[in-house]
A and B are shown apart, each in its own frame.
Chain A
């Protein structure tokens, strides 16, 4: 079953605009991560935010986390054609026993129109 659910499923914007994607999750987490996947390629890690953090920045990316609402958002500012990809949020599955894989949502497909 999916832990995280991204919203919207698909988003199409003009180059230069900002893109916002949201993620909701169900259980307590250690951290939440965002990944990007270009069509048919492997996932690439973008940013990680820990459960005790509320906001984090990395270049044109801004991530927020609201643990009371069990939600996160990813903002991409000044979008570029190269940002066209699917974006996934992921939460860490276990806090103990050494198992530390991630559970992924179904992703937001972002299309940047030139």
Chain B
């Protein structure tokens, strides 16, 4: 158990819809990262938050947005969903005082867009 919690585990929705994925980082971790994993693109970095502030942006589409709340949990919002958005979405955290550089991953949210 990494200590990172993601909900929901599975989500099936239709094209054009909007979903929200939630992540609770490990206790004390300040950084949250979102990744998308699909068969063709591999593991793609989407966005990083640190203590509530956006820290880095990767290949995140404009239809996607994220935020980190004062209690450090994070949400990834995916809107106007397309078939190609079907993927595993992972949240990871890091950032304790002695950050070793490793990321701790949740078990992911599997999104299926029909």
Contacts and interface: CB of A to CB of B under 8 A. Distances in A.
Contacts of B33: 101-102
Instruction: Give the size category of B's interface with A.
Output: 20 to 34
A59 interface: no
Interface residues of A, number: 27
Interface in B45-81: 45, 48, 50, 55-56, 58
Interface string A84-114: 0000100011100111111111110000000
A101 B42 contact: no
A42 B108 contact: yes
B90 A42 contact: yes
A98 B53 CA distance: 11
A99 B56 contact: yes
Interface of A: 2, 30-31, 33, 35, 40-45, 48, 88, 92-94, 97-107
B102 A93 contact: no
Given A33-B102, A104-B45, 10 more contacts: A2-B42, A42-B2, A42-B90, A42-B105, A42-B107, A88-B43, A94-B56, A98-B50, A99-B55, A100-B94
A104 B56 contact: no
A46 to B, nearest CB: 9
Interface centre among A2, A88, A102 (most CB of B within 10 A): A102
B101 interface: yes
Closest 9 CB pairs of A and B: A99-B56, A42-B105, A106-B42, A104-B43, A45-B102, A43-B105, A42-B107, A99-B55, A101-B48
A63 to B, nearest CB: 13
A55 to B, nearest CB: 18
